Structure 1
Amino acid sequence: MSDLLINSRDVEIRPFHPDDAPQQHAIVSHPRVAEMLLQLPSMELAETEQWATTEKPGRHRLVAILNGRLLGAIHLTQYLRPRMQHSGSMGMMVHPNAWGQGVGSKLVEAALNLADNWLNLSRLELEVYSHNRVAIHLYEKFGFEKEGLKKKAVFGNGRFLDEFVMARLHGNFPGPAEPAAPPAPPPPAQFTSSDIIIRTPRHSDTDDLYSCFSHPLVARTTLQMPSQEIGSTRKRIETQNKRLHRFVAEVQGKAVGMITLHQSDSPRTAHAAGLGMMVHPAYWGKGIGSQLMAAVVDLADNWLNISRIRLEVNVDNPAGVRLYHKFGFEIEGTKRWHAFGDGRLADSHFMARVR
């Protein structure tokens, strides 16, 4: 594709079609485009062809076409977790020969029409590298605001890259200014620190861990549902993945908490991992969280050579924030209107520990 002189009024926005795969690949594998995304310039056509024929629930793909040429593409994905269906994410790419000619604006306009008028999304988020000033300016033009900066988020073109989290809020979804009172905690369990054993999970932990995952106080501080059935916990425990690392806290023969470290599948974020943790409320405040964190940080630092661990925590969970601060996590920003649950729409800090 040679340099183009484009009148954006002539550009057609339509749904993606599998036949677009070759032109899509030519854009996504372009070194100047790949640097701005998570792809590699070595991406093969077969991978794009497979992606082209794979439909994903909640994902909407649009392309910009001029005289049969694919100039760019945008995807909008509505989150399908029950407590996050009010929100979604967006990603876009435009061929360098069409930069600065209104193609990106037409794609964003089409995506926002879907988000506002068809999906009724209250929150739409995206991530953009901090050095991509043109894209940042474009998103700001459409009402996106910076919520924070993820340090050392992605590796590309010989260096680590930081990226902004940006979001656009829409409508009058009630904010978390008056959060609902949490449920009453259960009676505290009686045990000593010597009773705590940190180990890997077993199938026999399913019943114990189910009582943790389904507890209303755990659901409030995570993205779980108190209505989930035991089969979801069983499936979670049985899932095996070489990039998934887990520890369980056992007290007096009972599994009372679990922590998970999930390494990224993308080659350009192989240095990073996501963290999630929960402890049964009857065992809160007794050091179990600290022991689980110590085990997973040791694994990340000394065995997996992970240099960035990320997590999200509700703003109204100060005990969780303090625990993560204790292990070197810093607040990088705050996602507004992040997750609905227990009668309130909670903001969440995104935190990271970066070596």
Structure 2
Amino acid sequence: MNTNTKKQQSERDSAVFLKWGNIIKIVIREANKTDAVSLFACIQEVLANSPYLPRFPDELQVKTIEQEEIWIEKQKEMGILLVAVADGKIVGSLNLSREKWKRTRHVGEFGISVLPSYQNKGIGRKLMGELLTWVSKKTDLRKIRLRVMAQNVGAIHLYKSFGFQEEGRLKEEISNMDGTYDDTIWMGLHLQL
């Protein structure tokens, strides 16, 4: 297989219509070590600006580009790490990690992050579609799951549109900056064999 064919198979192009009328090309593909700088910046920006994540930028375990490169490689071993690229920069990501224990190895847990300026433009939906395509080829995966804050109704709607169901709710699991608390919802999708 030549390099161009491999590249075509590893990238999925999507046209996303932005609100101000422009069309921008979004490429969804698996991440690699050369993405470390752009992915690190994306994650930092999402954490700094999203009320829907359970931690802040200074609470990340990955603190350097070198650590980010190592993390990217580990994600490949444990599951998959997808990135959404626009104009040469990463604007979103999805990572799925499989359980490490034999009795739960059939389960994968994932999370999605999209830069605030690129949210509500279909990028999360495209990342989800690519994840489900990848998962469909993994015959030993029987379930994928995620955690989402109850106030993140847009994300919950997205997950439900792919067939995810609420499997549990942890009351007042997240402490908000304003002193209020939010529930965490566990959602799961049982895969067809």
Structures share fold, TM-score greater than 0.5: yes
Q: Give 2:192's aligned residue.
A: 171
Q: Which runs of 4+ in 1 moved over 4 A?
A: 43-46
Structure 2 segments unaligned to the other structure (5+ residues): 1-16
Kept in 2, the 8 Å contact 1:25–1:45? The answer is: no
Q: Does 1:24 align with 2:44?
A: no
What is the aligned-residue RMSD (CA, Å)? 2.4
Q: Give 2:69's aligned residue.
A: 52
Matches within 5 A, 1:151-300: 151-159=171-179, 160-172=181-193
Q: Give 2:159's aligned residue.
A: 139
Measure, in 2, the Cα distance between the counterparts of 1:156 and 1:48: 27
How far has the Cα of 1:118 moved from its partner? 3.0
SS of the residue aligned with 1:29? helix
Measure, in 1, the Cα distance between the counterparts of 2:55 and 2:139: 28
Q: Could you report, residue by residue, the CA deviation over 1:177-227 in whole angstroms, capped at 9, with x for unpaired residues?
A: xxxxxxxxxxxxxxxxxxxxxxxxxxxxxxxxxxxxxxxxxxxxxxxxxxx
Measure, in 2, the Cα distance between the counterparts of 1:41 and 1:156: 15
Residue among 83, 95, 98 paired with 2:103:
83
Residue among 30, 51, 72 paired with 1:15:
30
Q: Name the larger-Rg structure.
A: 1
Counterpart code for 1:60: I
Measure, in 2, the Cα distance between the counterparts of 1:45 and 1:167: 26
Q: Does 1:39 align with 2:55?
A: yes
Measure, in 2, the Cα distance between the counterparts of 1:131 and 1:99: 16
SS of the residue aligned with 1:53? helix
Residues 48/150 of structure 1: CA separation in 2 closer, same or farther (3 Å cut): farther
Measure, in 1, the Cα distance between the counterparts of 2:52 and 2:101: 28
Structure 1 segments unaligned to the other structure (5+ residues): 173-355
How far has the Cα of 1:48 moved from its partner? 5.2
Structure number with greater CO (CA < 8 Å, separation at least 6) is 2
How far has the Cα of 1:86 moved from its partner? 1.5
Residues 166/44 of structure 1: CA separation in 2 closer, same or farther (3 Å cut): closer
How far has the Cα of 1:119 moved from its partner? 5.0
Q: Give 1:115's aligned residue.
A: 135
> Taking structure 2 as the reference length, what is the TM-score of the superposition?
0.76
> Taking structure 1 as the reference length, what is the TM-score of the superposition?
0.43
SS of the residue aligned with 1:38? coil
Measure, in 2, the Cα distance between the counterparts of 1:161 and 1:147: 17
Counterpart code for 1:95: L
Residues 171/76 of structure 1: CA separation in 2 closer, same or farther (3 Å cut): same
How far has the Cα of 1:94 moved from its partner? 0.2
What is the number of residues matched between the two proteins? 167
How far has the Cα of 1:67 moved from its partner? 2.5
How far has the Cα of 1:105 moved from its partner? 0.6
Counterpart code for 1:40: F
